[in-house]
Structure 1
Amino acid sequence: MAKRVGTDPTYGFSINPWAMLFLVVVAIGSYYLANHNWGGGGSERLPKFYPVGTSANERDTIYQRIPSFTLTNQQGREVHISKYDSLDAIYLIHAFELHAGLVPACEEAARRLAEVSSKYEVLRMLSLVLDTVAVPVDTLQELAARLGAEAPKWSLLSGDPAYMRTVVQNGLHISIRTDSSGLQVAPRWVLIDRMGVIRGRYEDCAPEEMDRLTNELPDLLSEYQAYRP
């Protein structure tokens, strides 16, 4: 007797080709969803720092987002960062103390990063300037002029000292200590994605760290399909 098309001779059941196609599509789709970040528009290549828990289904790790803060820039305008909304940019953030200013290596690194950031529309720089009192706007303007920092692309920010220390230490994980010469802020840059999560940490303004930063930037920017070479 002729064998029926679509029947498995071993088990005697029919194989529906459309059902097989559906299963293949589901398998491919499941793999894609598991390995891509739909919210960002691409696969994640950079790590995320500072996990704080897991989602309700315990499948996804939740990471700390930088705190909301409002500070004043060199134009005398308030700059507001909110952890409750997706940010309007990707940020490179660091902090330094006013009395010491930027050491030559960090000043050179900042200028280099400013040149790099000019290539990317969504990338902005924030320099948090700390002192024992809120730094006056005219002082921020003088610093900005020396560094070539133009807001909003590169904002120098200041505000209440205690408030800023909380943001810098607890939110950005940049250490601050006080000694006989005053505040001492660790020379660290942090890279923040659009969800406010820290995706990169770069120490000491060392050339090799700045090389690593510039090499990793396109990886983060490509997650959002928002970069331009």
Structure 2
Amino acid sequence: MNPVHILAKKGDVAEKVLVVGDPGRAELLSSLLESPKLVNKNRGFLVYTGLYRDTRVSIATHGIGGPSMAIVFEELHMLGGSTFVRLGTVGALRPEIGLGEYIIPTGASYNPGGLFFQYVGDLTSVSATPDHDLVSRLITQFSSAGYRFHVGNIFSSDAFYAEDEHFVKRWSDRGNIGVEMECATLFFLSRLRGTKSAAVVVVSDNLATGGNWISKEDLERSVVNGAKSILTVFSEMK
């Protein structure tokens, strides 16, 4: 099957891919690459390929939510991607987690049904966990960079505006320290397709302390610093 949304050619996409939700973020981070080339702009799924410390990498847009992530992941994989790290934002579910800090997920909870049911039918228990080696490398790199980060399980929600007054307690009581929308899909499909994946998410707001949001400038700073660390991990992998 050939991709129908990402209209790049086989070989245009590197084996190592940094995926982000926002096309503006992909454009921003492409400036970190040497000689970045825009290999797709169809449907707003911007994909750039270039070099970082002599390592060929791609920076790709996955859009919002699990279904969008699923389409982009499948097509990037068709085009040669084999190692994926998502860099996005997350709402913290614990009061001690600060804005602009990072969460490196060790797993992602999700609601059953939807795209998961379409992939596996009535097999209701499917692991959504990242690659252990990739997570270990990210933890080591973020530690050496001196960044404040948290390691733990997160919840991947399908509905941004469906939260009620019980949301934080419901999901934090089940061991989740943050909520976002795409990691469960990435981890699940990566396991299914035999690729490596992980994520680093920046805390943009804290639902446990009233939902205050990070400033645009502070978010951009954390995103750029996080991207540099992820790309460094890519450059150190064989």
More strand by share: 2
TM above 0.5, yes or no, is: no
**TM-score normalized by structure 2?**
0.30
